[in-house]
Structure 1
Amino acid sequence: MPIDTAAAPLAALAPVAPPVQAPATPVPSDAAPAPEPADLAELARGDGVRFLLAVFVDLAGKPCAKLVPVEAVEELRDNGVGFAGYAAGLLGQRPSDPDVVARPDVSSYTPLPFVRPGLALVHCDPYVNGEPWPYAPRVILRGLLRRAAERGLSLAVGAEIEYFLVRRDADGALSVADPGDTAARPCYDARGLTRMYEHLTAVSTAMNALGWGNYANDHEDGNGQFEQNFAYADALTTADRVITARYLISVLAEQRDMTATFMPKPFTDRTGSGMHLHLSLWRGAEPAFPDAADPRGLGLSPLAYAFIGGLLEHAGALQAVLAPTVNSYKRTGAVSTRSGATWSPRRAGYGGNDRTHFLRVPDEHRVELRGGDGSANPYLAAAAALAAGLDGIERSLDPGEPGDARATALRPELPPTLLHAVEALAGDPVVSGALDVAPGRGSPRTSGRPSARSSSPGTARSAPGRWTAISRRSDPTPFWPHTVAASPLSGPTAFRPHPSASPKHFHGQGDRNPCAESSGSICGSPPSIPGSANCSPPCSARSSSAAPTRRASRSTATRS
């Protein structure tokens, strides 16, 4: 919940010293010729870097890395660095598959002297056998950006990152890191900000040193909850920065004996953590959303309304990507919090500067997508949202009139659980198709795949706008929403998990302690340090206010 900038155009949010890809012209490199990139070796040596983290993320958002000494930077630049893909995480690989080779994108080079002297980070694109690996989230987003570029459009994204700062007490119970943070209405509390001054200013200083344009840092609505905002940029750059920001926030918190968790709902009685995305389309350097002649009064163009129409049309399926964990639905399903508001939408509606909507229109330049949370993979979230919006544009969808609370109550409900969201994803060829980009993994991909919504026996909706318990399925295999084998089939067996995704990877599935897994996404808190997870404290909290994570056996997970 950043400082309200609804009255200001997006250009007003640009930092004083703009980054390499200035927000004023957020054109992805896929859409327009870019200047000759700097040399990674020259950048690293010029900054006195001794080691580089070569980073990519898996489908669950886990950052994977190798620490490369500067003496080998030319090898990294020219040939990349190899990983055993199956061991790295959810990447659609088997143990027998060839290595994943991470090739650095020099435009993402990020020196990190505030983390460790001589350390830098560079985001990478995974390749296999010399080709971009189609299960890699960064590769998936690049593909959607190319599709938008074919229409002369580029996507700019701004992300709001919310998180909790916690500590473990002497008896092992989890509590907020600031013992004085007990106010009934802690949002924007100047005293709470001051007590966390050292951490917040360390993060802010790092963001501004990197040219991100940090413009606000605030205490959020929950005790122990904070948000730190930075300027928007093209979609790929913002997704990179979300991953880097989670890493920065977590490491800098650890330096002060705290744990930063981006888990959607670590405490039952407090507001959950979202990841709201501010989306805008551009034609070159010109914004495509504003239109002063808008008869609906929001100042939006027909293209903007069609984009909104696509997001609303596919809202149910989008939630499987924006809110991809069991814990996510403890946030969206909350009926009350200490502060009196949940700030999470329950229905697929849109309107003006009203934070109760799934889509908020704070001004004529952008649309805020409020369904996402801290467990979302930013690359997949941006890709899925863009796919939905482009479908709306291609079909000239009309979202209807912007709604107040009464009109929103008539809009369709969002999925109440992960199972319902995955059911919606399985029945939505547009959103699933944006992620299902890997032909040849078991069966050939075909175009024009029929929707599972029309052929599945039983649907998750029993009446317009109402969700019921998920239908019985002939195939009891649980779904993993981001790891699906390409298949021309429709119906209840169309979206089987990839062979590398064993039952332990499914959120809430199986009879094991989810915190024993190495992937932080099991409990909804993305790992913050490459190769490690920070989900254990929220999941294993013994305090009475910590949200339990319900476990379902495979025999009951798909029952109605």
Structure 2
Amino acid sequence: MVEKAESIDDVRRIIEDNDIEFIFASFGEVRGKSNAKLVPASQVDDLFSEGVGFAGFAAGEIGQGPHSPDIELVPDPASFRVVPWQPGLAHVIGDARVEGDAWPYCPRHILRQQVERARGLGLDFRIGFEAEFMLVDRDESGRLVIADRQDNWPKPCYDVKGLTRQYDFVTQLSRYVSELGWENYAVDHEDGNGQFECNVTFADALETADRAVFFRYMVETVAQQHGMLATFMPKPFTDNTGNGFHYTMSLWDRETETNLFADPNDSRGLGLSELGYRFAAGILDHARGYAALVAPTVNSYKRLKAGTDAVRTWVPVSMTYGGNNRTQMLRVARQGAIEDRTPDFSGSPYLGFAAALAAGLDGIERRLEIGEPNTANLYEFSPGQLRRQGLGVLPNSLIEAVHYLEKDDVFREAFGKVPTDGPDGSPGGGFEDFVDYYARLKQDEFHAINDVVTAHEVDRYLQFP
């Protein structure tokens, strides 16, 4: 029986019942990196009352310099979990604070603000994820390769032999997911060589984001125990399918526990309510700037390319929706749920979920119309053909997505303002939009990679024409 904590008293009981000796106390920074300190369980009262300190500048991108006061991690009891593979260890996630106040740069705080906004409207935002990953290794020359050298079928999706060869890994992972109470209902070999996916049920958005962070940590750890490396990188191989992090979203009535996206009498035949269509319309309306938050790296846009016979991608290239059609950005494959196939797991799930909710609520508030579902195989259309049909195309690069994000006032309001230093570097200089801070990080990231001359460029252009 999985014990779910709601208070510090519950945490104490779980510690005692499971002989917990140590706790990883964790928080995430803006790029999605998880940071933790190992805290003896004997210090649990101080951990939850006073938090634990981190040098924010050293921890990553969270709006701090080396002169800034400490980040204080304040754990959330609801995120407290017994680590399945390590007896005596637990894990807890929390929000970052500075000098006792909520820190506006904290991705978890940003999502919490959007969740509270929805709750003020009587709505619960619930979301599930499908996180694809690859099991890889390096060969004798240091080249990245698929860990299972026999996993080389041209179409390996659902391959029973590939699952069998990794049976110990996938069953251990499935067992741990079930022990965590996430109701694992399937593990499968995905479309890429060496690619797998473990499906879990949906939950409240904040809970699901915490689950996603722990899931990534768990998959990587279990893979290492089996002598492999697990990667969620969007596109680790040019000639192999990329890794996605699909969101499946719905809004629920807080009082009646009713799925407000479900409508069995939907005239379009997708089982989606008018509220659901407006939510979807909001995401499509903000799709270009939204991409910067859910496909947040240079590598992300090497995944977001239409497939060919040689390389399948299973990703969207245009801002469309449809039924059970995997070439659409938004897919309605079952009643009352919207799947977004754009995201990958190279950033913070808290920021991605917050962006989805903000865009969807904007669609509802503005009563946006979405039009009829698209039924075409969109991989058969060139970008020019898509535009001629009036279908918007997703950004081709991170820098393009950031350009649209900077112009999006809905995201500016949703993500709020953050404090800045004065001209002399002293605290209290003023405020700026979080979006501007995030945009600078991503512009720097783009140029750090794009401005480097590669061996491929030298081979192609050294004596060209």
TM-score (norm 1): 0.74
Secondary structure of 2:420's partner? coil
Deviations 1:491-530 (A, max 9, x none): xxx936699x598x6244269989xxxxxxxxxxxxxxxx
Amino acid in the other structure paired with 1:419: I
Q: Does 1:430 align with 2:410?
A: yes
Q: Does 1:441 align with 2:414?
A: no
CA distance in 1, matches of 2:7, 2:397: 47
Amino acid in the other structure paired with 2:111: L
CA distance in 2, matches of 1:79, 1:488: 29
CA distance in 2, matches of 1:301, 1:511: 43
Aligned to 2:120: 150
How much has 1:40 moved relative to structure 2? 2.4
Aligned to 1:300: 272
Aligned to 2:103: 133
- In structure 1, which of residues 46, 54, 74 is the aligned counterpart of residue 17 of structure 2? 46
Aligned to 1:75: 46
CA distance in 2, matches of 1:288, 1:253: 39
TM-score (norm 2): 0.89
Question: Structure 2 vs 1, CA of residues 78 and 112 (structure 1 numbering), >3 Å: closer, same or farther?
Answer: same
Q: Which has the higher contact order (CA 8 A, sep 6+)?
A: 1
Gaps of 5+ in 2: 423-429, 459-465
- In structure 1, which of residues 89, 98, 105 is the aligned counterpart of residue 76 of structure 2? 105
Secondary structure of 2:448's partner? coil
Secondary structure of 1:214's partner? coil
Aligned to 2:463: none
Q: Does 1:329 align with 2:301?
A: yes
Amino acid in the other structure paired with 1:438: K
Aligned to 2:395: 415
Return the structure number with greater helix share: 2
Question: Structure 2 vs 1, CA of residues 122 and 36 (structure 1 numbering), >3 Å: closer, same or farther?
Answer: closer
Amino acid in the other structure paired with 2:287: A
Deviations 1:427-481 (A, max 9, x none): 111123322x2344269xxxxxxxxxxxxxxxxxxxxxxxxxxxxxxxxxxxxxx
How much has 1:106 moved relative to structure 2? 0.9
8 Å contact kept, 1:326–1:549: no
Secondary structure of 1:509's partner? helix
Question: Structure 2 vs 1, CA of residues 45 and 217 (structure 1 numbering), >3 Å: closer, same or farther?
Answer: same
8 Å contact kept, 2:399–2:442: no
Question: Structure 2 vs 1, CA of residues 509 and 337 (structure 1 numbering), >3 Å: closer, same or farther?
Answer: farther
CA distance in 1, matches of 2:206, 2:239: 35
8 Å contact kept, 1:40–1:109: yes
8 Å contact kept, 1:37–1:107: no
How much has 1:39 moved relative to structure 2? 3.5
8 Å contact kept, 2:157–2:190: yes
8 Å contact kept, 1:214–1:228: yes
Aligned to 1:160: 130
- In structure 2, which of residues 360, 368, 385 is the aligned counterpart of residue 389 of structure 1? 360
Secondary structure of 2:417's partner? coil
Amino acid in the other structure paired with 1:150: G
8 Å contact kept, 2:105–2:418: no
Question: Structure 2 vs 1, CA of residues 38 and 156 (structure 1 numbering), >3 Å: closer, same or farther?
Answer: farther
Secondary structure of 2:332's partner? strand
Q: RMSD of the TM alignment (CA)?
A: 2.7
Deviations 1:328-370 (A, max 9, x none): 00111254364x5310100000011111110000122100011
Aligned to 1:495: 436
Aligned to 1:191: 161
Gaps of 5+ in 1: 1-16, 22-34, 444-484, 515-539, 543-547, 551-560
Amino acid in the other structure paired with 2:400: H
| Aligned 1:346-495 pairs, distance under 5 A | 346-405=317-376, 409=386, 410=389, 411-435=391-415, 437-441=416-420, 487=432, 495=436
Question: Structure 2 vs 1, CA of residues 195 and 118 (structure 1 numbering), >3 Å: closer, same or farther?
Answer: same
- In structure 2, which of residues 434, 441, 445 is the aligned counterpart of residue 506 of structure 1? 445
